[in-house]
Structure 1
Amino acid sequence: MKKILSVICALSCLSTPVWAATTSTVNANSSLSTQAGYSFGYLLGKSNAEALQGLDLNAFIEGLRTASNNQNPALSEQEMANALALYKKQAEAKDLIAHQQQAEINAKAGAAFLTNNARQSGVVTTASGLQYQVLKAGEGKSPNKNSTVEINYEGRLIDGTVFDSSIAREQPVDFRVSEVVSGLSEGLLTMKEGGKTRFFIPSKLGYGEIGAGDAIGPNSTLIFDVELIKVK
């Protein structure tokens, strides 16, 4: 068991897609040993699907069988280490190319969106490229860059995908104005307590070419609806 899990851990940093469909001969009438073996393999594959995609699964199973039988491997430890290192580099290169291609797509889509949005009624464009639209004027005090504010917000992509929402959670958040992305930080300075504003944030004022996790891709233009509840 420990040897199998060690192999899985070693492969967990690898990813390159493509599964080949297979026809199983295992069924409810198979022996307990067969059913248990299949179940264990299935669970390992399901929990490590991304790491296993693109690998030669027959060779993977052969490696498992060789190790579990305490037999000598077909490759030396150095050869295996070299193969894994090279495979990882190839996977990372493919991921980088895909990342760059997506960044270019997002940048073009964002630029087109902002150009059109700038023409919309009530939209203000600042010198930095930030755009905003006041939905409700506030009457309280405004924050400065060192202020801590309490807000309700919803963040989404230009295709409407919501990536975060304190409104949906029904739980306002507190944070320092200077601690958020520069576009939102700049935008908050235009608000007063009780106000609601929609901000359109170019990627250079958001998460840039890196993006943020799986939810926000590289060069993504962001839209934030913000209600400034209180300046603390």
Structure 2
Amino acid sequence: MKKTIKLSLVAASVLALTACNQEAAKQEVKEVKLETEAQQQAYGIGASVGTYLNQDMADKKELGIALDQELMIRGFQDALAGESKLDEEKIREVLTALDASVRTKQQEAATAAAEKNKAEGEKFLAENAQKEGVTVTESGLQYEVLTAGEGEKPAETDTVKVHYKGTLLDGSEFDSSYSRNEPTSFPLNRVIPGWTEGLQLMPVGAKYKFTIPSELAYGERDLGKIPANSTLVFEVELLEIVKPKTEAADSE
């Protein structure tokens, strides 16, 4: 069932290509009417498939896989006419091989990117460690005091409330409680090691800048916005050590 759906998507994608092919431009142009909901739905399906295919072809090209657009269109047209040059078994075979090739190239690209991130992170950490005001802990965590606090320091088992902003080395922001205009709370022993260690150094009221090596962050995991082996930079404000309700009630 899944293979049938996949093949249908490929066929539909080729149909979307036909609409924008140069050869189609030479044919008689039919006026597009989008007056009824049914017309809009039909057009919307085509537009959606076309958007998918445009991105899919761009992704494959970036991996070094270039597909012949004219042959894709010809295959669709031949299939509609019942004159496909490949039988269903062969089509499944070649598309399965294409999928395998894409996965292999994606893995190769991911490995290369992870290695690059690792090297860039090590270089950045070495240079940053020499800057005035930067302290390096035994684990390799680097921190800088932006605002000194005078409150209590949290323990590893405490829950804390913070404001923070996280960026990659190129300055792109991947997360920020400031952007959401709402601080966040979490147990210190349930976050990345760099945070667990770093926030225990901070008194309440302080604001620190942490540069966290990938092994103290998300390591080799690729989280989308945070690529594998990324060194992360955080600015963190420790607003409060959140006490359990029973403890808070006893202190009143």
Aligned with 1:219 (options 229, 237, 240): 229
1:92-135 Cα distance to aligned partner (Å, 9 max, x none): 11112211222222212111111111111221111111111111
TM superposition shift of 1:77: 2.9
Separation in structure 1 between the aligned mates of residue 238 and residue 8 of structure 2, nearest angstrom: 48
Alignment gaps of 5+ in structure 2: 12-19, 59-65, 243-252
SS of match in other structure, 1:32: coil
If the length of structure 1 is used for normalisation, what is the TM-score?
0.79
Matching residue within 49, 57, 62 for 2:74: 62
Asked whether 1:197 is paired with 2:196, we answer: no
> Residue in 1 aligned with 2:249?
none
Does the C-alpha gap of structure 1 residues 145 and 77 become closer, same or farther in structure 2, counting only changes over 3 Å?
farther
Q: Matched residues in 2 for 1:150 and 1:139: separation? A: 16
- For 2:177, the equivalent position in structure 1 comes to 166
Give the distance between the partners of 1:10 and 1:141, measured in 2 at CA: 61
- Structure 2 residue identity aligned to 1:212: L
Aligned residue pairs total 218
Match of 1:184 in 2: 195
Which of 128, 147, 152 lines up with 2:158 in the alignment?
147
Residue in structure 2 matching 1:229, options 219, 239, 249: 239
Amino acid at match of 1:128: S
Classify 1:191/1:61 alpha carbon distance in 2 versus 1 (closer, same or farther; 3 Å): same
Counterpart residue identity of residue 206, structure 1: A
Q: 1:176, 1:65 → 2: CA distance?
A: 60
Determine whether 1:31 maps to 2:42.
Answer: no
Aligned pairs for 1:60-139 (under 5 A) are: 60-68=72-80, 71=82, 73-139=84-150
Larger-gyration structure (1/2): 2
C-alpha distance in 1 between matches for 2:179 and 2:83? 57
Aligned Cα RMSD in Å? 3.2
Structure having the larger proportion of residues in helix: 2
Contact 1:8–1:48, Cα closer than 8 Å, also in 2: no
Q: Deviations over 1:195-231 (max 9, x none)?
A: 1110000111112222321x22221111000001111
